[in-house]
Amino acid sequence: MTKFPIALRFAWLFLLLLPAASSLARSADHLPLPVMDLQRFSGHWHQLAWLPVDFQRKCARQGEVRYVPRPDEGFDLHRSCLDDEGRRLEDTAVVVPVPGAPGSLQVRSAPRWRAWLPIGWERRWVVAVDPGYEWALVGSPDRDRLWVLSRQPTMDRLQLASLVERVRVMGYPVEQLVFAPDAYAGEARRVPARLVVLTNEPFWQAQLQDDVLRLSGPGLPQARTLRVDMRRDMAVPGVQRIVARDAHGEVVVQVATESCQDDMSGAWFPCGPRSPSMVTLRSAAVPGRPTHPPGEPR
């Protein structure tokens, strides 16, 4: 009997109801947020990843940014980081939100005495933000600037990989991203070819062997067998994205291996602690079954 590595850590297991093309088309919309609480957005952020342009080109680690509210409008922006030789670099700018579009920010690094000139302004877009304002994705209309910001200096690797995937779908060159050395927690390990992904409440299981993924869980009278359409390493080291499809839709799994300890036996094995708060499940298109996300209100 074939043995599979026990329960890999998971971040997202999507059972999509619509074809992948239409899903990506919706996700590919690249626009600044139309609604955003600028007061909650202000404050101190850590730069977990960035595109190496302008000031960021010399940054190697400890990238930080502070949005300090101004008395009139907007923010004073303070950026700092350490270069390869450990020298601290600093930069300041003025940030003014576009009226009626809080996610669209105008940034000027030029001296204030030149503020009346229609030059020196650059546009930044906040394209996504956490509901609790714990992370934010800041880019630009031309997709040549990008920052992954977090209130904490370290983020779970799988969550970071999911955020990077969001901007990849928007068209950003994520393969050029520079990650802070301590941007993600846990040691990056190779994802095995055969694996089992388990979720907790509801209890779904995705078993991967070669190019076949078998899905079982609530509402499925028998396991679904899906053909693996894509499997690739993501921009964050040690994280892999797997897409499998059948006639009902697709399953997207993002996994990473870590060592963890069994609660009862104390044995160590290649998996990581489950993070139910990071899981999003959407029900499969099963005949005679509701199609609202399991565990969510109708």
Task: Give per-10-residue mean pLDDT for the chain (298 aa).
Answer: 41 34 50 95 97 92 96 92 95 93 88 56 95 97 97 94 95 96 82 81 84 90 93 90 91 77 57 32 31 32
Residue 6 and residue 270: Cα distance in Å, rounded? 7
Predicted confidence at residue 191, as pLDDT, reads 83
Predicted confidence at residue 27, as pLDDT, reads 43
Task: Report the chain's C-alpha Rg in angstroms.
Answer: 22
Predicted confidence at residue 8, as pLDDT, reads 43
Nearest partner of 132 among 47, 220, 37, 214, judged by Cα: 37
| Tens digit of each residue's pLDDT (9 = 90 or more) over 57-84 | 999 999 999 999 998 889 999 999 999 9
Predicted confidence at residue 182, as pLDDT, reads 92
| Tens digit of each residue's pLDDT (9 = 90 or more) over 202-252 | 788 889 998 999 999 888 889 999 999 999 999 998 899 999 999 988 888
Predicted confidence at residue 109, as pLDDT, reads 77
Nearest partner of 201 among 281, 297, 257, 261, judged by Cα: 281
Residue 59 and residue 82: Cα distance in Å, rounded? 6
Predicted confidence at residue 112, as pLDDT, reads 55
Nearest partner of 23 among 298, 289, 251, judged by Cα: 251
The 3-state DSSP class for residue 277 equals helix
Predicted confidence at residue 97, as pLDDT, reads 94
Query: Residues of 190-202 as b/e, b for ≥16 C-beta within 10 angstroms?
Result: ebeeebbbbbeee
Residues across the chain: 298
Predicted confidence at residue 111, as pLDDT, reads 53
Instruction: Give the pTM.
Output: 0.74
Which helix (H) or strand (E) segment holds residue 22: the answer is helix 20-27
Predicted confidence at residue 188, as pLDDT, reads 76
